[in-house]
Structure 1
């Protein structure tokens, strides 16, 4: 079900993506609402499932995960539960997208070293053919689901 959002809701979402810990009084100031009005809107957005959570952005290299990679997986099987279990168990797998095209899954993974990445890719290769790309740098940092300064037409 699609939720109808007005321009103020979009402003609130943009501000919360920029800083999920902003106090409601400051958030209200930024979007020209009282603290109580902005609190009510945020609670509604949470209740309707538009806001699904809050997160901390982590510098992976400083946390000991110096190797970032994208792994594409061609999964020939029809039973995806074993792979889904592995995805849930391995915290090094940061994201997984089920995709169309030649690859079935695209995964973003973090590893402490090249041998660590190799072990992880070997484990994933047990499910199908893999292609791994090492990330040199992140040109565009995570910015949520692309809602900053964007509104549907």
Structure 2
């Protein structure tokens, strides 16, 4: 039998929101410091974090890597429209190219919008040549990022 239960939307209070903001800024913040900042005990903060994790609000703790420090000076956004019958092959190819760091399957004329990092512009054409066997592409080089990925709470 199919489960028709709808998962309820999680409602955050001010303390939950503050904890998420603190962890978003630094996921390695010790629980004792989080507790001091929000005016609670460490066990209480641990319980809140456990509840936020179990409800799916907090889905993980991540390290943020600066691509420029690793020599990746260029970021490009590639929009792709697959050739007939090539959707699954295109997705597999995108997954196999490590320079693609993010990809969304979208509606509209394009089927994928992806971000990739490059050490220099000469790396772009070989990647696009591989992709063009399966899709038409439209590429833009990112000049700056006025809004970085930000917190929703």
Report the TM-score, using the length of structure 1 for normalisation. 0.83
Q: Could you say which residue in structure 2 is the equivalent of 1:121?
A: 128
Change (3 A) 1:59 1:30: same
Q: Which runs of 5+ in 2 are unaligned?
A: 1-6
* Count of aligned pairs between the two proteins: 146
Residue of structure 2 aligned with 1:36, choices 21, 43, 59? 43
Task: Check whether the contact 1:3–1:48 (CA below 8 A) recurs between aligned residues.
Answer: no
Q: Could you say which residue in structure 2 is the equivalent of 1:9?
A: 16
Residue of structure 2 aligned with 1:86, choices 93, 99, 110? 93
SS in 2 for 1:62: helix
SS in 2 for 1:10: helix
Residue of structure 2 aligned with 1:25, choices 32, 43, 60? 32
Task: Check whether the contact 1:65–1:111 (CA below 8 A) recurs between aligned residues.
Answer: yes
Q: Could you say which residue in structure 1 is the equivalent of 2:4?
A: none
Point out the structure with max Rg over C-alpha.
2
**Greater relative contact order (CA < 8 Å, ≥ 6 in sequence):** 1
Task: Check whether the contact 2:10–2:57 (CA below 8 A) recurs between aligned residues.
Answer: no
SS in 2 for 1:12: helix
Q: Could you say which residue in structure 1 is the equivalent of 2:137?
A: 130
Q: Could you say which residue in structure 1 is the equivalent of 2:106?
A: 99
Report the TM-score, using the length of structure 2 for normalisation. 0.83
Task: Check whether the contact 2:101–2:115 (CA below 8 A) recurs between aligned residues.
Answer: yes
Cα distance in 2 between the residues matched to 1:59 and 1:81: 31
Task: Encode CA deviations 1:9-35: one digit per residue, 9 max, x unaligned.
Answer: 222222211111111111122223211
Change (3 A) 1:86 1:52: farther
Which segments of structure 1 move beyond 4 Å, counting only runs of 4 or more?
Answer: none
Task: Check whether the contact 1:27–1:38 (CA below 8 A) recurs between aligned residues.
Answer: yes
The answer to which of 73-82 and 88-97 deviates more is: 73-82
